[in-house]
Every structure is written in C-alpha cells, then in structure tokens.
Amino acid sequence: MTSHLLARRSTVVGFVIVVVLATVALFASWLAPHDPTLVDPVRAFAGPSAKHWLGTDNLGRDLLSRLIYGARWSLGLVLVATCLIMSAGLAVGVAAGYVGGVVDDVLMRLVDTILSVPSLLLGLAIVGTLGPGIESLMIGLASIWWVSYARVVRGLVIALRERDFVDAARALGATDGRIVVRHILPGILPAIAVLASLEMGELVLAISGLSFLGLGAQPPTPEWGAMLNDGRSFFFTAPQLMLYPGLVISVAVLGFNLLGDGLRDALDPAEASPIKGVGS
C-alpha cells in the first residue's frame, strides 16, 4: 500500500503539506518568533521586517507567530472534532449495523432526519444557541457531522457481520462485544481512516468558516478563520491580514484533500478495502 501511495505525486505533496503543518502545530512554541497575543499598537500594520517577517496586524501582533499558533488551534480543533465525530459515528453505526432490527430502524431514521436538515443551518443554529466559543463549535460540528460516519460504518458492519470469520468467532463462543472489538472494528477502521482524511479538509473549512462568522474561536485566539474575520475591516488598507490566513487555510485544505484522495485510491476495494459501494 505504501508503494501505491508514494507512486502518486499529488499524494506525496498532500502528505508533505499535512506533515509540515502538523510539525508546525506541534512545535509552535519553538517556531513562533513572538507571543501571538502580544499587543503593541505602536507597531500596528508594520510591514515585513527582520523582526516581523510577515509584518503585524492592527494590534501590532506578529502575523507569522499568529499563523504558526493558528496551525495548532486550527488543526487541533480539526483533530478534536474528528475524534468526536468518529466516536459518535462509530457507536451509532456499529449499533445499527450489528444489532439490526428495531435498533437499526430507529437509529437510521434519526440519521435520515438530521440529514434532511441543511447541515450548515443546523450547525449555525446549534452554535448560535449555545453561544460563541470553541466548546460550542465542537458540539455543533459533531452534532451534524457524525451522521455521515454512522451511515458508512453501518454499511461496513453489515458487510462484515455475515462473514465466515465472524460466524466462526460466534461459534467459538465469543461475546458480541468481543466480536465487535476484535473482528469487526479492525476490518472497518482503515476505511474510516480514509473517510476521516477526506473529511478533514472540509472540517478545516467549516471550523474556519464558523470562526470567521464569530461563532468559533474568540479573541485573542490565533485561529485562522478568526484571523480572517479580524482582517476584514482592513481589506483595502492591509490586505495581508486576510491574505495570509486565507492562503494557509487553502494550503491545509489542499493537503488534506490530496492525501485523502491518495489514501482512498490506495485502499480501493478492488485491492484492499471494502469501503466502495457499501453504505453510502
């Protein structure tokens, strides 16, 4: 699979972008030249210099440092959101797919109901009701995003639960919990990982978008979407305040999408994965 992955240049590019961004996020406190929240109005809108490579914003904060710490916040939030979404999606999808019957019917009608509401509106409503903030943002995103995972997981579980090795485990006296943990989950996790990598780009956009609307990260958090929002007023006088965070958001989304595409191709069902044609 690794050779298959590395064979595509675009996948390598995506991988490099994601690794670089992850490294920047992990080592932000070493890499950032300044405190990203340090306010110094005297230096507001300073141009690029040896001290401030990308200049400063309207409060004199170092733009490069804010972008670097922004990687930690933006990608960290994506990671947390993905974990929440995967947990909920796996729990519901496994329950519906493995138990079946009434449980499956009830859970899937719930999924259908949520899917029938425009996700952006639902997310905005949830975050708006809970009030702006990172916690609300995570709850809002997890509330609308888990359903697509649940449907995929359910399909994968249904495909696996009738397989011979599952029957064999059952015949040997394995409990349902053991069958799920030891035999079902290992079979679906690669496909879920691909799905997660494909959705991460969208999550970056969603988180940035909600922060841009003032519903996500709050001042002085250097989150990329919030930085975009902060820079709007100065679009004509200091376009770099929007340009830089806009660029890094684009690059991050591009990286996740290229990597996700590569992973999907590498795990194509014709070769390895059962993801295609199941549940979606």
Partner 1 sequence: MKVRTSASALLVLLAAGACGSPAGDARAPRRLVVAAPGDGFGLGGDAELGLYPINTNIYEPLTRLSFDYRPEPMLATRWELLPPNTWRFHLRSGVRFHDGSPLTAEAVRWTMERMARRGSGSTGIAPGSTRAVDDSTVDITPVFSNRRLPEQLVHPVYSIMARGSDPARHPIGTGPFRFAEYRASSHITVTRFDGYWGDGSLLPGITFRFVPDPATRVLSLRARDVDIVAEFPREVSDPRVVRSPVSGYEVLNVTIHGRRPYDLGSDRAIRRAIAAAVDRVRIARDVWSGAADPTPTVVPAAMLGAFASRIRGVDHDPAAARAILDSAGWRVGADGIRERRGRRLRLTLVVGFPNPHIHRPMPELMQSALREIGIELHIAQVPDDAAYQARIRTGEGDLWAEAGGQNDANPCFLTHLLFYSGPRLRPSGYARLFAPGPSLDRFVDACRNAVTREDAERSAAEAERVLVDEEIIVIPLAATRRVWGLGDRVRGFDPHPSSLSQRWERVSLR
Q: CB of residue 183 vs partner 1: minimum separation in angstroms? A: 46
Asked if residue 118 binds partner 1 (CB under 8 A), the reply is: no
Asked if residue 234 binds partner 1 (CB under 8 A), the reply is: yes
Asked if residue 91 binds partner 1 (CB under 8 A), the reply is: no
Q: CB of residue 167 vs partner 1: minimum separation in angstroms? A: 56
Asked if residue 129 binds partner 1 (CB under 8 A), the reply is: no
Q: CB of residue 26 vs partner 1: minimum separation in angstroms? A: 20
**How many residues are present in the chain?**
280
Q: Are 140 and 210 in contact (CB under 8 A)?
A: yes
Beta-bridged to residue 62, according to DSSP, are: 56
Q: CB of residue 38 vs partner 1: minimum separation in angstroms? A: 7
User: By CB under 8 A, what part of segment 23-42 binds partner 1?
Assistant: 37-39, 41-42
Binding mask of the shown chain, residues 49 to 68, with x at each position contacting partner 1 by CB under 8 A: ---------xx---------
Residues 200, 152: Cα–Cα separation, whole Å: 16
User: At 136, is the secondary structure helix, strand, or coil?
Assistant: helix
Angle between helices 119-130 and 134-161 (to 10 degrees): 140
128 CB-near residues (< 8 Å, 6+ apart): 215
53 CB-near residues (< 8 Å, 6+ apart): 33, 64
Interface with partner 1 (CB under 8 A), residue from 10, 130, 139, 218: 218
Positions in the binding site for partner 1 (CB under 8 A): 37-39, 41-42, 44, 58-59, 132, 214, 218-220, 232-237
